[in-house]
Structures are given as structure tokens and as C-alpha cells.
């Protein structure tokens, strides 16, 4: 891990384990058990060729500031020109190994997928990837990803979009799977994303619906559940499909879906959508709740291990080191049962960026090792 990029962010926090009292009437006070607190190390992907490493405490009892970054560091996978990344994916069996992929082509018009050692921060493997000729739009590439026991599966946002199946041990490309098997033509959908179910028997593919042409956003998203065994063999076998709707894109913005996570029990899907987030029934693929408005643009939505809360990654308006209008990367807490945002977002980028006189921070996806 690259050290000393910034001064450690050490903020005091209120520990859990206390009782709060609320008055029922003028004579009776009822003890209310404190809400559970959480702690973890968050790995947040950035366009600068690195991941912010945030030691995070979540205390829902603190209604104003539930998120505290106790320490902020970074892991570098390359430079901004060669390794801008949106994708963090920790191995399901080895919590010290994280897979990643790059969002923009490097100066040689190549993409990269790789894996890093989270103990040392060093890159273990960096696989240089050719961009397929069928991908005529390559302004956006790998963003989301899933995995099975043997394979890492980054998903390309290109047009045409595709899923790569990469051997975890050798990091060799085994399959490149386009959307033909689903009957989807180039341009009919925009910005593919996806993730595996917790049991790794299925793979969820999400596609922004653009039937009148690429990037002509309707606000609708197709949710397509695929058979994982078939995908490993280079085939797309659809098991189920659903649809969610949002705001069509206009000058004021709109809904574009990006990365997502399942709850650990596989019952809920947490889907980011730029101007909103969604909580979805993973079995029926029907929306349970919309999370909107948001204080920034949402690009990932990750639940706590018990799915009582979830974290959104946001691109949020802020002032840079010169006091100019800019963009910061922040995390926002969401209460799943109460169906509401909790407190203020917390930055995981500008503490380092401002100290080092670096401009805007463009984050996207994240993964976590929970304590």
C-alpha cells in the first residue's frame, strides 16, 4: 500500500453500546437499545489510477454524522493515463486479494484487468487487454464486475457491451461474451453492469434501456438474471428478467444505472442509478423502494453485512484546494428499514486531494472488508 499520500484522518466517534431514553409520558422513561455500529475498510475506485482506502466506522446512533473516516490511505494500480478505474472486487475466499479493471483505454488503446495484494498494496498481475473491434464506442469501458469460484468477470460499458470471463489464478481471458444470445442489438441498451449472486450460481446483468439509440436515456433499466455455469462457458442463458424505471435524461439530469450489490442472504438488490438508488426484491426483480433525492450522483450501493444499512458512493459538488467549484467523492448512509438517508455524507477523497493540491475526485465502485 502506498503510504503517506496524506495525513491520516483521525476523527473521534461515539461508540455503540449505550442506551438512549425517550419519554412516553411525563412520568415514564423507556430504554431504547442503541443501534448496532459497524466498522470496515472500504476500497473506493478512482479515475486517478488508485483506490482510496478508508478505515470507516458507521454509527447510526449519530443522526448527523454517522460515518467517520478514522484513517485514509490509498492503493495505486497505475497512473491516471493508464489505469483509471471504476471497479473494485475482493475475492470471495481470499480477503487480501482484490481484482480490478480499467475504465478508459491507455495511450496504446489497451485496457487492463488485474489483481492486487491488499496487505502490501502491490499489483500481482496486470493483464493488458485488446479492445474488440465490435466495440465502436469505447468512451466508457469496464465498470462493474462479478465473480464465480474460478473466474473474475468484468463488464464493459462499451457499445457493444460485453462480459469477460478471466481465470482468477492465471488472469488469462477465457471467454468474451456479447449480448447476442439475449437478442439485444448494438445501441439498443447503454452501459452494461453486473454482479454475481452471493451463492455464485447466477449473474445479474443490468442494461440501461435506450431503444431509440445509444445514450438516448429513457430512465428504464432491464434486469436480466443469467445462469452462471453457462456464462463461464461463454453463453448467456436467461433465467429471469425485470425492469425498473426512473427519470428520462434531460438538461437537468436523469436516471442512469451503474453498479450494484446483493445483500449477503441474496434477498435484496441494491442498485445505484445516478439521481437515485433502488432497493429491489432479488427474487421477483421488482422495486421495493426508491432512494431519492440524493446529495450527489450515485455510482454504487453496498449493504452492510446484515443489510440493515447501505452505503452509496456519490460524486458530490465541492470546492477544490483553490476554492474553485469541483467534485468530491463521498459516502452516504441509508437506513433500509426506515427507508431514508441518515446524516451527512463523508468525503473519502478530498482530505488527500486538497493536501496534495489535486483537483476533482471522480470515484465510482467500492468493495469492503468488514471487521
Q: In what order do the strands lie in the sheet containing 173-178?
A: 142-147, 151-156, 162-167, 173-178
Q: Which of 30-44, 114-128, 173-187, 284-298 has the lowest mean pLDDT?
A: 30-44
User: Comparing C-alpha atoms, which of 213, 226, 216 is closest to residue 182?
Assistant: 226
Closest CA to 226 of 192, 263, 188: 192
CATH homologous superfamily of 78-370 equals: YVTN repeat-like/Quinoprotein amine dehydrogenase (2.130.10.10)
| 81-97 pLDDT tens trace | 999 999 999 999 999 99
Mean pLDDT of 51-67: 98
For residue range 291-343, what is the model confidence (pLDDT) as tens digits? 999 999 999 999 999 999 999 999 999 998 889 999 999 999 999 999 999 99
Q: What is the mean pLDDT of the chain?
A: 92
Residue % of the chain over a pLDDT of 90: 87
Question: String of b and e for 110-121 (b: at least 16 CB within 10 Å)?
Answer: ebbbbbbebeeb
Please state the pTM of the whole predicted model. Answer: 0.93
What CA–CA distance (Å, rounded) separates 260 from 151? 19
Read off the pLDDT of residues 213-240 as tens digits, 9 standing for 90 and up: 999 999 999 999 999 999 999 999 999 9
pLDDT tens string 153-202: 999 999 999 999 999 999 999 999 999 999 999 999 999 999 999 999 99
Q: Residue 14's pLDDT is what? A: 31
The reported pLDDT for the residue numbered 32 is: 66
Q: What CA–CA distance (Å, rounded) separates 245 from 290?
A: 10
Backbone angles phi, psi at 184, to 5 degrees: -100, 125
Q: Is the pLDDT of residue 2 over 60?
A: no
Q: Is the pLDDT score of 30 beyond 60?
A: no
Per-residue confidence (pLDDT) for residue 15, from 0 to 100: 33
Domain extent listing, the chain? 78-370
On the question of pLDDT at 6 being above 80, the answer is no
Amino acid at each position: 500500500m502506498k503510504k503517506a499520500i496524506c495525513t491520516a484522518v483521525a476523527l473521534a466517534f461515539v461508540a455503540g453500546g449505550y442506551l438512549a431514553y425517550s419519554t412516553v409520558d411525563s412520568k415514564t422513561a423507556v430504554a431504547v437499545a442503541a443501534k448496532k455500529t459497524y466498522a470496515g475498510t472500504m476500497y473506493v475506485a478512482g479515475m486517478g489510477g488508485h483506490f482510496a482506502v478508508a478505515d470507516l466506522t458507521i454509527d447510526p446512533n449519530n443522526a448527523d454524522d454517522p460515518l467517520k473516516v478514522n484513517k485514509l490511505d490509498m492503493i495505486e494500480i497505475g497512473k491516471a493515463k493508464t489505469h483509471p478505474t471504476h471497479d473494485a472486487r475482493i475475492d470471495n475466499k481470499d480477503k487480501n486479494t482484490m481484482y480490478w479493471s480499467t475504465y478508459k483505454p491507455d495511450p496504446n488503446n489497451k485496457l487492463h484487468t488485474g489483481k492486487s495484494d491488499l496487505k502490501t498494496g502491490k499489483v500481482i498481475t496486470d493483464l493488458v487487454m485488446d479492445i474488440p473491434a465490435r466495440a465502436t464506442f469505447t468512451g466508457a469501458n469496464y465498470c462493474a464486475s462479478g465473480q464465480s469460484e474460478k473466474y473474475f468477470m468484468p463488464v464493459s460499458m462499451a457499445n457493444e457491451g460485453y462480459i469477460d470471463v478471466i481465470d482468477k489464478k492465471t488472469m488469462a481471458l477465457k471467454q468474451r461474451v456479447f449480448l447476442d444470445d439475449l437478442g439485444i442489438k448494438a445501441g439498443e441498451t447503454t452501459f452494461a453492469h453486473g454482479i454475481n449472486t452471493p451463492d455464485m450460481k447466477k449473474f445479474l446483468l443490468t442494461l440501461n434501456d435506450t431503444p431509440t439509440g445509444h445514450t438516448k436515456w429513457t430512465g428504464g433499466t432491464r434486469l436480466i438474471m443469467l445462469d452462471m455455469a453457462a456464462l463461464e462457458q461463454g453463453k448467456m442463458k436467461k433465467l429471469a428478467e425485470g425492469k425498473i424505471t426512473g427519470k428520462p435524461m434531460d438538461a437537468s439530469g436523469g436516471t442512469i444505472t451503474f453498479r450494484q450489490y446483493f445483500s449477503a442472504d441474496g434477498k435484496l438488490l441494491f442498485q445505484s442509478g445516478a439521481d437515485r438508488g433502488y432497493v429491489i426484491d432479488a427474487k421477483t426483480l421488482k422495486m421495493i423502494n426508491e432512494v431519492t433525492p440524493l446529495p450527489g450522483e450515485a455510482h454504487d450501493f453496498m449493504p452492510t453485512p446484515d443489510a440493515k444499512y447501505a452505503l452509496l458512493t456519490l460524486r458530490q459538488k465541492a470546492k477544490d484546494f483553490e476554492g474553485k467549484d469541483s467534485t468530491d467523492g463521498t459516502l452516504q448512509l441509508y437506513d433500509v428499514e426506515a427507508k431514508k438517508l441518515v446524516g451527512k455524507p463523508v468525503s473519502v477523497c478530498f482530505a488527500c486531494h486538497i493536501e496534495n493540491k489535486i483537483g476533482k475526485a471522480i470515484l465510482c465502485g467500492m468493495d469492503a472488508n468488514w471487521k
